[in-house]
Amino acid sequence: MKTEKQLITAECANYFREMNGITNYCCLGNGCVFFGEEEKPRCQYFETSVLPLDTDLEFRYRKERMLSTFNLIKSCKRCLEPFAGNNKEKYCKGCKVERKREQKKTHCLQRQSITAVTD
């Protein structure tokens, strides 16, 4: 699993490894709070623009900071289990893998794989 720092160095538009002699520079302040001393730092920009890129991390981040994870909890369309996901995700991790497999199979077998609805 990624850490906030990894996500920031990879994705944050305000983060620079070094700028004007300051390491872990942030365009919005003096330095990136996630590289500072604070144990559970928060950053508005990070939360709205960077964090949603990684649902697992967002879930953990929010939990650690006692923030609501309500909008991150989806119920899986396939097994109906709750899981942490963003709006684009419809299936839990396990089902995502299964779906991929199924889609592959469907692709190979085409219409043969469509099973009849039980009554």
Q: What H or E segment, with its residue span, contains residue 5?
A: helix 4-11
CB of 90 to Zn ion, least distance (A): 9
* Binding site residues, Zn ion, CB under 5 A: 76, 78-79, 92, 95
CB of 92 to Zn ion, least distance (A): 3
Provide the phi-psi class of 6: left if phi over 0, else alpha when psi is between -120 and 50, else beta: alpha
Pick the closer one to Zn ion by CB: 64 or 81: 81
Contact assessment for residue 35 and residue 24, using Cβ atoms and an 8 Å cutoff: yes
Pick the closer one to Zn ion by CB: 50 or 92: 92
CB of 37 to Zn ion, least distance (A): 40
Pick the closer one to Zn ion by CB: 36 or 94: 94
Backbone phi and psi for residue 83, each to the nearest 5 degrees, phi listed first:
-150, 160
